[in-house]
Each structure stands twice: as C-alpha cells, then as structure tokens.
C-alpha cells in the first residue's frame, strides 16, 4: 500500500513520529486502530440509544418540559 501525503501532511507525520519515538508507519497504524475503535464505540452507543430512548421517551419529554 502506498500512502500519498502532501508536504505539510508529511511534515506533520514526521514531527509526530519523532515526538513519540515511533516510525511514521507505526503512527499511521495506531491512528487507524484508534479511528476504528472510536467508530465501533459510536456504533454501539447508537445501537443502545435506539433501544433505550423509545422506552423512556415519555419520561424524558416530561423532564424536558418541567
């Protein structure tokens, strides 16, 4: 796989890698893992809210209007 970055993105990546003592490749892999984990967490939250909110809709509406 080839990752094409413009000069500014490459500078930022190099700066980040150096400050963390990692390779640029490792920084990219960790960023991908982090993004994937956050995405999964958001999906799970949406799933739970879609099940729970309807159950408490009346109560939430009353709380919101008091």
Half-sphere exposure of 39 (CA within 13 A, CB side): 6
Model confidence pTM above 0.85: no
DSSP symbol at 21 = T
pLDDT in tens, 3-62: 999 999 999 999 999 999 999 999 999 999 999 999 998 889 888 889 888 888 888 888
Q: What pLDDT shows up at residue 7?
A: 98
Q: How far apart are CA 53 and CA 47, in angstroms?
A: 10
Q: What pLDDT shows up at residue 66?
A: 52
Q: How far apart are CA 7 and CA 42, in angstroms?
A: 32
Q: How far apart are CA 65 and CA 8, in angstroms?
A: 50
Q: How far apart are CA 46 and CA 40, in angstroms?
A: 10
């Amino acid at each position: 796989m080839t990752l094409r970055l413009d000069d500014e993105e490459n500078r930022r990546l190099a700066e980040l890698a150096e400050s963390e003592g990692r390779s640029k490749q490792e920084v990219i892999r960790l960023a991908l893992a982090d993004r994937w984990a956050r995405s999964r967490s958001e999906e799970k939250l949406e799933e739970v809210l879609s099940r729970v909110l309807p159950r408490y809709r009346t109560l939430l509406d009353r709380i919101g209007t008091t």
